[in-house]
């Protein structure tokens, strides 16, 4: 029989898909369909309601866990609520049925998605996910992959956390798949305990002063976000209060409260983000006290670089794993002094600067103008002169023409670290045309990585030599992968 929307099916979860959903198999008159169910672990036997019936797969919602998997563990964080608990609460409220959506639980966090798996099992699944993507999408079989590099400590690893304000100045995070609501944060094990202390204190301060949280639906309210950044290697702390208006009467009181309550804060900002219909969003920063930037260091292959991080600047959220990731990129590239290197999608130039410190002549290209300005500043701080940053789109003629001109220096390697969507095919064609003998592809999305590698190998004459997954974000489905290709 063919499944119908609203049907209840008994399923056994056999795998996890990219994104963290459990995968089951359903037999139909026309063959076998994959069924995706959020909140499940391989080995779970469940009841699920079918929501979307498509040609090759079905999307379903967990109704009940009949037999839990032996792989399930008790999550550390109280805000991680299982899908089973969500369905039980929905049932108690009479909110079950094919046409009713389960409510967003007040304590259900949308940050972590894999806390019901041990960290060892998370790493095994991420390794398998990379391999499955390469086989299923890229058509690569028998490729040797190095064991995934996990975090020494999978807790308190984030150097940046952005909290949101809700009604009555409640400060917390968003429930799963609901960016319009905010639940009241009580604990979090991703950033340091100090960060949570600061967040809870700011929440009390806002409520004491009867300030309102910003409501994106009505456009009313004053407080939007609290962003806390930490220097994991320098112990510096930056706090940035984001408001929805430029005028903020209790600004001095906020600064004094924070300075007295947390004397270890090294930078304190307020950022006003104002939106007017028909006008561009205006962003204005005010340094309330302390240093204008947070200082941080990264050490790769005995080379230490210093970075000045401003409120809007990008920096890898997991400092310790960034050092491991960049170390693997350098290892794969095997740079030699005076070699020429191209770094595309270079962002703030962090990777390229390590190659420059090793004596390579580096050229980076990045579309984001602010990132390029930050890259120039960090190169100056570290006394690096043998690196050049070009601001532009690699789909356009000018930056790529500059690279073709620089090809006369016979570059050793090409590094690409694109966004999650991967590299557009037209851009891939332009990059392939450079005919650089060694290509290091860094990816945060196994599915688009597999798609791009197939094109690179089939049309560009490259072959895969090494693959190294790196876990940057424990308790989530995200995984980084470094691939070394040669002509």
The strand pairing partners of 22, in sequence order, are: 16, 37
414 sits in the region (left: phi over 0; alpha: psi -120 to 50; else beta) called beta
Neighbours of 179 (CB within 10 A): 10
Where in the chain are the domains? 8-95, 123-152+296-486, 160-294
Would you say domain 123-152+296-486 falls under CATH 3.40.50.150?
yes
pLDDT recorded at residue 223: 97
Residue with tokens 């240093």: 291
| CATH for the stretch 8-95 | 2.40.50.140
Extended strands (E) in 108-236: 160-165, 171-173, 183-184, 223-230
Closest CA to 425 of 391, 461, 466, 394: 394
Same fold, 8-95 and 160-294: yes
- Look at residue 93 in the predicted model and tell me its pLDDT: 42
How far is residue 43's CA from residue 45's CA, in Å, rounded to a whole number?
6
What CATH topology corresponds to 160-294? OB fold (Dihydrolipoamide Acetyltransferase, E2P) (2.40.50)
Tens of pLDDT, residue by residue over 179-212, are 778 888 888 999 999 999 999 999 999 999 999 9
**22 Cα distance to chain centroid:** 21
Q: Are 311 and 324 in contact (CB under 8 A)?
A: no
Nearest Cα residue to 176 out of 102, 227, 116? 102
Q: Is the dihedral of CA 17, 21, 27, 29 positive or negative?
A: negative
- At 167 the pLDDT is 87
Instruction: Give residue 102's pLDDT.
Output: 42
d(CA 75, CA 190): 13
Please list, in sequence order, all residues whose beta carbon lies within 8 angstroms of the beta carbon of residue 456, skipping any fewer than 6 positions away.
428, 432, 439, 441, 462, 485
Rg (CA), the chain: 24
198-211 burial: b if 16+ Cβ within 10 Å, else e: bbbebbebbeeeeb
Report the greatest alpha carbon distance in the chain. Answer: 71
pLDDT 10s digits, 313-369: 999 999 999 999 999 999 999 998 888 999 999 999 999 999 999 999 999 999 999
Q: What pTM was estimated for this model as a whole?
A: 0.90
Question: By the 8 A CB rule, do 294 and 265 touch?
Answer: no
Tens-digit pLDDT profile for the chain (487 aa)? Answer: 678 889 899 999 999 998 889 999 988 877 788 999 988 999 999 999 999 988 889 999 999 999 999 999 999 998 886 444 554 454 444 444 433 334 444 457 878 889 999 999 999 999 999 999 999 999 999 888 999 999 999 999 999 999 999 988 999 898 877 777 888 888 899 999 999 999 999 999 999 999 999 988 888 899 999 999 999 999 999 999 999 999 999 999 999 999 999 999 999 999 999 987 777 889 999 999 999 999 999 999 999 999 999 999 999 999 999 999 999 999 999 998 888 999 999 999 999 999 999 999 999 999 999 899 999 999 999 999 999 999 988 877 666 666 666 655 678 899 999 999 999 998 999 899 889 999 999 999 999 999 999 999 999 999 999 999 999 999 999 999 999 999 9
């Amino acid at each position: 029989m063919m499944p119908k929307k609203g049907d209840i099916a008994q399923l056994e979860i056999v795998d996890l898909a990219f994104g963290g959903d459990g995968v089951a198999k359903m037999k139909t008159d026309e063959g076998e369909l994959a069924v995706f169910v959020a909140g499940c672990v391989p080995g779970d036997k469940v009841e699920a309601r079918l929501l979307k019936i498509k040609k090759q797969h079905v999307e379903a919602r967990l109704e009940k866990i009949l037999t839990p998997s032996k792989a399930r563990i008790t999550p550390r964080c109280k805000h991680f609520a299982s899908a089973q608990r969500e369905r039980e609460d929905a049932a108690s409220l009479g909110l079950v049925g094919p046409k009713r959506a389960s409510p967003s639980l007040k304590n259900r966090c949308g940050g972590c998605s894999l806390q019901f798996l041990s960290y060892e099992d998370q790493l095994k699944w991420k390794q398998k996910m990379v391999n499955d993507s390469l086989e299923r999408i890229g058509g690569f079989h028998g490729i040797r992959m190095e064991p995934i590099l996990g975090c020494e400590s999978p807790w308190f690893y984030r150097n940046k956390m952005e909290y949101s304000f809700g009604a009555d100045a409640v400060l917390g995070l968003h429930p799963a798949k609901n960016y319009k609501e905010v639940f009241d944060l009580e604990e979090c094990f991703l950033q340091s305990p100090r960060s949570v202390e600061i967040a809870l204190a700011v929440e009390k301060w806002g409520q004491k002063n009867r300030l309102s949280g910003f409501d994106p639906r009505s456009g009313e309210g004053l407080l939007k976000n609290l962003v806390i950044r930490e220097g994991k290697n320098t112990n510096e702390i930056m706090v940035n209060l984001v408001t929805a208006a430029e005028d903020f009467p209790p600004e001095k009181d906020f600064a004094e409260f924070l300075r007295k309550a947390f004397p270890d804060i090294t930078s304190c900002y307020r950022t006003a983000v104002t939106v007017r219909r028909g006008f561009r969003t205006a962003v204005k920063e005010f340094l309330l006290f302390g240093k204008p930037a947070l200082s941080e260091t990264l050490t790769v292959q005995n080379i230490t670089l210093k970075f000045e991080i401003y409120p809007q600047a990008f920096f890898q959220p997991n400092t310790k794993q960034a050092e491991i990731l960049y170390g693997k990129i350098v290892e794969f590239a095997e740079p030699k002094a005076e070699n020429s290197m191209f770094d595309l999608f270079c962002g703030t130039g962090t990777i390229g600067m390590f190659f420059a410190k090793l004596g390579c002549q580096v050229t980076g290209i990045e579309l984001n103008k602010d990132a390029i300005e930050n890259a120039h500043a960090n190169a100056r701080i570290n006394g690096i002169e043998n690196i050049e940053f070009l601001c532009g789109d690699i789909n356009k003629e000018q930056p790529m023409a500059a690279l073709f001109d620089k090809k006369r220096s016979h570059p050793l390697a090409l590094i690409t670290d694109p966004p999650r969507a991967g590299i557009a095919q037209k851009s891939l064609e332009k990059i392939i045309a450079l005919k650089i003998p060694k290509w290091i592809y860094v990816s945060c999305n196994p599915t688009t990585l597999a798609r791009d590698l197939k094109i690179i190998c089939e049309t560009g004459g490259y072959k895969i030599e090494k693959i190294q997954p790196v876990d940057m974000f424990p308790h989530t489905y995200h995984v980084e992968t470094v691939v070394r290709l040669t002509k």
